[in-house]
Every structure is written in structure tokens, then in C-alpha cells.
Structure 1
Amino acid sequence: MRIGTWNVENLFTPGTGYGPTERSVFEEKVAGLAATITAAELDVVAVQEIGDEEAFTALTDALGGDWAGELSVMFQTPHTIRTGILTRLPIAGSSEHSLIPPRLQGVPIDDESTPLTAMGRGALHVRVTAPDGTGVDVVTVHLKSKLISYPGRRFTPRDEGERARFAAYALYRRAAEAVAVRAFADELLDGAGNDRHLVVAGDFNDEPQAATTQIIQGPTGSEIGTPGEERPDQGDAHRLFNLAPLIPEDERFSRVYRGRGELIDHLFVSNASRKIVTEAGTRTGGESLESVADTPTARRDSPFSDHALVTATFNL
């Protein structure tokens, strides 16, 4: 069984303000995404930055008749990117979570101290049935971007004080969203991670050692590649293991930001799933990832995503 996660970068139908300006570019992008997913021989793929239902349907149709999917209904305007899950396995159920835990709902997100009550993009959950009959829970997430935005939909600060404050607000938000995802994972695991298969996939907008990413893991001490990995303990039933260390070092990045490769798209798995992982890797939909900066619309007419597809194989 092969599972992947891919930020497909503003997959909007033409004329919506964020996606390609030409229908031909949109169709080329959809065809390229479908070809890459097919070549990766995936059974399930968590996707992020789906702009509208029509775009999601176009990608599903391009994959072929045995593919189906679920699309998030929780997202923010005006940039209505959302998460989704596509699969060619039977879907046994789905749910979605966006609530920030009550004790974190006072986290400020702007100079007016607007409280944060919900994630910007919903964490969408689908349970699929593997060929051997095993149930596997897959969650797709997209945490707050590191791109800083300012009042009036500006991307340039008025001064250094504003820049610093809004950088902090973005960090507060991503951290609170990470806690919300972790709470949702706790609910799905229900303390039975040694037996239940759970994959939390998506664009976490930070690298493996970042504090917000570490929140997702739960109890520390048995990360992949550490001496405690194969040493059972009480935390194993609650842990999520980041598969990043299994990705070959020369391809251990999923985006190139200002010329530097960074791994910000991750696959976290329960202990039961960790035991049956055989490999992990990345692949792109174009020849190579283009370096990106902080202008959101600069690549709207590119037929390729600015993220790599991150994949893993499970011996089910």
C-alpha cells in the first residue's frame, strides 16, 4: 500500500483569481499531477491547496474511474484553498476537524487581538480499507503558512515593528493549529496506536525539528533513527512517527525557498504503521523544483507545483 502527500499549489480553475489564467495551463497542470500520482503507484494521496470543487473533480477524473475522493468543507475566504484526499481504495468513512482547543482560543492573530477559534484549513479524515481488509485512517492537513500577511491584504510591512509582530502572530497560529491536529490524532488513536493504522499527512509549513512540527509527534524519545525506536515503552501507543529520516538524504526536501531546500511536507504514522513501513521518498511533477519567494501570485501560470510529492510504502 502506497500513501503520499502533495501540496499541488493553488489548483483553481481559470478565472478564480489565484489559479492559471488560461484553461490550457490548468489542463496541463491537472494532467501532470495525475501522471505523477499514477507513476508513483499511489493508493491514497492527501492533497493541499485545492481551490474549488471543479478543480478537485478534474484531478479525480484525470486519475481514472477507480479513483474517488473527499474534499474539505472548512476553509477561509478570500483565498479558499482547502485539503482533500484521493484514493483508489474503498472509503469506509470520513470526518473533519477545525476547532482550536478551548484553552488556546485566546491566541491573538492580529493587532486587534482577534482570538483564534478555528484552523484556517480543516483537517480532513478518511478511513480506507486496504486490500487485506485492514482499516487505515488518513488525515490531510495544511498548517498556517510561513508567508506573513498584513492588514489590507499586504505582504510588505509598514515598519520592522509590524513585521516582527505579525511574524509572531503567524507562529502562534501555526502552533495552535498543530495542537488542534494533535488533539484530532489523539481522538483517532484513542490510546491504541500499537494496533491502529493512522497516517497524518500534509503541508506543516515547517521542517522536522521545528517546534510546531514536533508538537504533532506526541511523546518524545523513540523517533525513527534513535536508539529508542525499537525499544517498546508506554508512549508508543500515543506516538506519531515522522517518516522524514527514511527519505534518502539527497531528496529530503519538498520545497526550495530562496534557493534552499526544505522539508515541510510530512507523513506521520502510528506505531502500528511505523512497523510496516518499507521506504519513503519524494518526487516532483516537473524536471526540478523551482525556487520560490514571497509573492503568492508569481507562479500562477506554472503547470507544475512548487512542492514535491512525499510518498511511503507500507507492507499491508
Structure 2
Amino acid sequence: MRIATWNLENLFAPGTGDAAPTSETAYQAKLEALATTIASIGPQVLAVQEVGPQPALDDLAAAVAAQTDHTWHTAAADPDGRGIRVALLSHGELRDVEQVRDLPAGIGPVQISDDGEILTGLGRPALKATVTLDGHDVHVLSVHLKSKLLTFPDGHFSTSDEDVRVRYGFYALARRAAEAAGVRAYVTRLLEDGGGAVPAVVVAGDLNDDVQAATTQLLHGPPGSEFETPGFDRPDAGDAQRLWNLAPLIPEHDRYSRIYRGRRELIDHILVSAPLTSPKPTVGAGPGAAPSIADDPDARRNEPGSDHRPVHAELG
């Protein structure tokens, strides 16, 4: 089974959002570039992030179908305040679709701005669906955690006030951690509901931090076994609740999904539960390179493709 995740970088039709392309020509070029890359990867299920209203997702599904001879089923979560959302595309039916909104019990509201704005659930709901792949049911979640891009008072993306910078950096980190905890709590319940067998679970998306970041590590569950470590081949009591990040299986020279200020970063991840760890997955990123970006989210408004590279895996 082949699964992929990709942040599509503001997939909006013209006139449907502040980040939308300014012309139909630019929009069609973006769709064509995205569809060509998706077709080259050939996923059976694709988790996507930064999708605008449903018609844009439908346009993408049609563009990919034209290049793959497959009909694509789609499902999308509710948008955040910017109008972007996560979604899933699949060759097969998406069943038991559910949005993941809640923070875990015991985690109270999280302050996210100087004016006292609080977060009481995931800022961007994650989306879970069950699909049948190669005869097996797999629970797939598309996730997009809080960006490392800081938005300061009055909508600015930069500041010369270091006290403001550190506060808003803290707010963003606290929000990302709370959202990661919410996703992990949902996964914990999924893994507990397997009726004695460990369910096949995939968490895929833009986690907005690297493999070793605390917010990414929250998703793992029990510490210990990881790919490419001595403990991987030794079963332990944590396996039933553990998620394994596939990042170490990406060839080292290709282990990045974004370039920020000239520095390669792997912030897009696929994590899997125990049944999907053997045989060892084949994992990659790309194809192609990614542009180097900075802190202006409008700089690539009319550019084709995405500022992220997809991450994809052959499982089972």
C-alpha cells in the first residue's frame, strides 16, 4: 500500500481567499504541477494540507484523475481562521470520517495572543478516515499543526520588539504542543479500540517541526523502539501504543520536505502503528527540489506547485 502526505501551499481558486492566485492561469498551472507530482508518486491514499474551499479539492482530484485513470474519493475537515484545512484523497471509499478537534482531558485552554485569545481545541482540525488497502483496514489521519511562522499583533509577520517576539514564539510553541497532544490522545483511543489486535494507523501531515522536536515526539507514545535503532527488533510492552516515525528510512541526502532560509528541514512526517512496520517500509521525499522560502506567506502566491516536497511510503 502506498501512502503520501503533502502540504499543497494555499490551494485556493481565484477569488476564494486572501492567499488565492490572482488569475485563473496561475491557478490552473498550480493544479497541473500538483497533479503531475502526485501522479508520479502514485499514492493510494494522500493526506493533504493547506486546502481552501471544497471546489479546490474537487479540482485537484479531477486533475489527478486525468493523469492517473483513477477516480478519487475526497473528504475535508473544517477550515481554520485563514480558511485552510486538511483533507484526504483516496482510490477507495473513505469510511467513518471524523474530525479531530479536542485537546486531551486535563489540558486547559492555551493562551495564544497578548490580548488573551485562547485555544480550546485544535486550531486546524485533523481528519481521520478508514480505508481498505490491499484487503486491510487502515485508519489514516491528515494533520497540520501550528506553523513556526509567527503572526504578531496587527497581522505583521515580523517585529523589532524582542519581548513581543519571545511571547509570540512561546504562544506558537504552546499551541503546537497542545495540538500534538490532542492528536496523540485521539490515536491512543484508536489503538485501544482494536478488539485485541493492534489496528493499522497512519498519522501523516505537516507537523511544522523536525523529527527530534518535542512536539513531534509527543505523537510517538511510549519511548523506546524506533527505526534504525538497536531496540527496533525487540518487541516490548509499548508496541501496542507506539507510533513509529518513518523519517529515518528516507535516504539521508533526500531527507527534507522544505527549505527555510537556505536550510533543509523535514517537517512533514508519516508515522505508523506496529502492524505497518514490517516489512520495513520504503520511504522517500520529493520528487524534485523545493524553493527556499522566508517569512512572507504571500511571496509565492502565483507560483505553481508547492513550497513543500511530498513524503511518501510503501507499506506492508
- Shorter-chain TM-score range: over 0.9
Counterpart of 1:22?
Answer: 23
**Equivalent of 1:137, from 139, 156, 163?**
139
The answer on whether the counterparts of 2:256 and 2:264 sit within 8 Å (CA) in structure 1 is yes
Counterpart CA distance in 2 for 1:298 and 1:35 is: 23
Counterpart of 2:184?
Answer: 182
**Greater alpha carbon shift after TM alignment, 274-283 vs 100-109:** 100-109
TM-score by length of 1: 0.95
Counterpart of 2:103?
Answer: 100
TM-score by length of 2: 0.95
The answer on whether the counterparts of 1:105 and 1:115 sit within 8 Å (CA) in structure 2 is no
Deviation at residue 276 of structure 1 after TM alignment:
3.2
- Amino acid aligned to 2:252: E
Q: Secondary structure at the match of 2:167?
A: helix
Counterpart of 1:199?
Answer: 202
Q: Indicate whether 1:240 and 2:240 are aligned.
A: no
Counterpart CA distance in 2 for 1:29 and 1:111 is: 37
The answer on whether the counterparts of 2:31 and 2:305 sit within 8 Å (CA) in structure 1 is no
What does 1:123-162 align with in structure 2 at a 5 Å threshold?
A: 123-131=126-134, 133-157=135-159, 159-162=161-164
Deviation at residue 191 of structure 1 after TM alignment:
6.6
Counterpart of 1:288?
Answer: 289
Counterpart CA distance in 2 for 1:111 and 1:67 is: 43
Deviation at residue 158 of structure 1 after TM alignment:
5.1
- Amino acid aligned to 1:7: N
Counterpart CA distance in 1 for 2:277 and 2:19 is: 37
**Greater alpha carbon shift after TM alignment, 269-278 vs 222-231:** 269-278
**Stretches (4+) displaced over 6 A:** none
Counterpart of 1:169?
Answer: 171
Counterpart of 1:272?
Answer: 275
* Identity %, equivalent residues: 45
The answer on whether the counterparts of 2:75 and 2:94 sit within 8 Å (CA) in structure 1 is no
Counterpart of 1:58?
Answer: 59
The Cα RMSD (Å) is 1.4
Q: Deviations over 1:164-189 (max 9, x none)?
A: 11100100000000100101111111
**Greater alpha carbon shift after TM alignment, 55-64 vs 107-116:** 107-116
The answer on whether the counterparts of 2:29 and 2:304 sit within 8 Å (CA) in structure 1 is yes
Counterpart CA distance in 2 for 1:106 and 1:94 is: 26
Counterpart of 1:112?
Answer: 115
The answer on whether the counterparts of 1:191 and 1:237 sit within 8 Å (CA) in structure 2 is no
Q: Secondary structure at the match of 2:269?
A: strand
Deviation at residue 39 of structure 1 after TM alignment:
1.1
The answer on whether the counterparts of 1:139 and 1:200 sit within 8 Å (CA) in structure 2 is yes
Counterpart CA distance in 1 for 2:220 and 2:202 is: 12
Counterpart of 1:39?
Answer: 40
Counterpart CA distance in 1 for 2:26 and 2:218 is: 38
Counterpart of 2:6?
Answer: 6
Structure 1, unaligned runs of 5 or more: none
Deviation at residue 29 of structure 1 after TM alignment:
1.0
Deviation at residue 92 of structure 1 after TM alignment:
2.8
Structure 2, unaligned runs of 5 or more: none
**Greater alpha carbon shift after TM alignment, 180-189 vs 190-199:** 190-199
